[in-house]
Chains A and B, each alone.
Chain A
C-alpha cells in the first residue's frame, strides 16, 4: 500500500524561528492535507491542497503541493508557543469512492519561549 515519509520526526526551535517539514510518497496523491494535533484532542485541519504546484497560506502557515504529486511541504513562520503539537500530513487519491486518507507518522514540534 501507499506509504508517507514525513520528516523531521521532531523539532526543537526557539520562539520566532521559522519551521519547515515535508512529506514524500512512493506514489501520487491528488489531494494533500496538513493537520495539527494537540495533546488529548483530535487532529485539526490546517490546509488542504488540490492541485500540483499549488501554494496555499493560512496565516503564518504556508503549504505547497509538489509538482510530482508525490510530496508536500509545510512552513510555519515566526513560531509562537501555541504552535507546539504534532503535525501530520495526509494524502488522498480521491475519485470514485477512494476518499480515505493515508497519514504520515507526524512531526512533533516544540517551541521554546
Chain B
C-alpha cells in the first residue's frame, strides 16, 4: 500500500484568503484524488488529479475555486481559493494503486475558515 502525507495537518484561515494543501506519496502512483469531508459526513470527491494535464472535476466543484496541480507521479496540490466559512472541512488526498486502483488516503487537512 502507498504511504501518503499531507501538509498542513490543520489550519485556521481568514475569509477571502487561499490555502494550498500538499499531498506527497512515497511511491509513484497512477491515480491521485482529492476529497472533501464535512464534519460528521461522508467523503465527496472534488477532482481527479491528472499528471501532466488539467484535473477532472466533479459536479459542483470548479477549477477557479479548487485549482489542482500534479507535476509528477508522487505529488499533488489542492488550493482552496477565496475561502468562506462554508469551506471549513477536512480535505483528503488519496492515491490509486494495485489491482484496480484501490485508494489509500492521507491523514487529511483540517481547515477552519473564520
**A→B interface (CB under 8 Å):** 1, 30-31, 33, 35, 40-45, 48, 50, 88, 90, 92, 94, 97, 99-106
Q: Chain B at the A interface: mostly helix, strand, loop or mixed?
A: strand
Tell which of B12-20, B61-69, B80-88, B99-107 binds the partner: B99-107
* With contact pairs A100-B45, A103-B42, A106-B42 given, residues A41 and B96 touching in the complex (Cβ less than 8 Å): no
Are A100 and B43 touching (Cβ within 8 A)? no
15 residue pairs from A and B, CB less than 8 Å apart: A30-B100, A35-B105, A40-B107, A40-B108, A41-B108, A43-B43, A92-B102, A99-B96, A100-B33, A100-B58, A101-B45, A101-B103, A103-B42, A103-B43, A104-B42
Are A50 and B100 touching (Cβ within 8 A)? yes
For the complex, give the distance between the alpha carbons of A88 and B41 in Å. 11
User: Which of A1, A35, A43, A104 has its CB near the most chain B CB atoms (within 10 A)?
Assistant: A43
Q: Which residues of A contact B33 (CB under 8 A)?
A: 100-101
Q: Which residues of B contact A42 (CB under 8 A)?
A: 4, 92, 94, 105-108
The residue in chain B whose Cβ has the minimal distance to the Cβ of A42 is: B105
**B→A interface (CB under 8 Å):** 1, 4, 31, 33, 41-45, 48, 56, 58-59, 92, 94, 96, 98-108, 110
Number of interchain pairs (Cβ within 8 Å):
64
Are A45 and B104 touching (Cβ within 8 A)? yes
Are A99 and B43 touching (Cβ within 8 A)? no
For the complex, give the distance between the alpha carbons of A43 and B107 in Å. 8
* With contact pairs A42-B108, A43-B43, A88-B43 given, residues A100 and B48 touching in the complex (Cβ less than 8 Å): yes
For the complex, give the distance between the alpha carbons of A104 and B56 in Å. 22
Are B103 and A45 touching (Cβ within 8 A)? yes
B33 → chain A closest CB, angstroms: 7
For the complex, give the distance between the alpha carbons of A101 and B100 in Å. 11
Q: Which residues of A contact B100 (CB under 8 A)?
A: 30-31, 48, 50, 92, 94, 99
CB < 8 Å neighbour of A48 from B31, B44, B102, B108? B102
Q: Which residues of A contact B101 (CB under 8 A)?
A: 92, 94, 99
Q: Which residues of A contact B94 (CB under 8 A)?
A: 42
B11 → chain A closest CB, angstroms: 15
